Amino acid sequence: MPVLISVSEAAAYYGIGRDRLYNLIKSDPDFPNVKIGSRQRVNTLMMPEYLNKVTLEGRTLWFFSFSKVSL
């Protein structure tokens, strides 16, 4: 697997919705991503470490998209 993959590829590989993954990138500064030009890429070498850290910390990852909430 390449070191850097697109958000769509990462979403499919890790079983996370693409929009949810974008929200996670925006909301969690520890998420292993890099912006190249206008595109986000996910670092596949750092992703297992990130998931282990989140698990050990007992964190729950919440994803919110306020644009889709009806008020």
Is the Cβ–Cβ distance between 3 and 43 less than 8 Å? Answer: yes
d(CA 59, CA 65): 19
Give 45: exposed, middle or buried? Use CB within 10 Å, 0-12, 13-18, 19+: exposed
Token pair 């996670």 is at which residue?
Answer: 24
Predicted confidence (pLDDT) per residue in 45-60, tens digit? 999 999 899 889 988 7
Contacts of 41 (CB under 8 A, 6+ apart): 4, 5, 6, 7, 33, 34, 35
Q: How confident is the model at residue 36 (pLDDT cuts 50, 70, 90)?
A: very high
Give pTM, 2 decimals: 0.79
Per-domain boundaries in the chain: 4-59
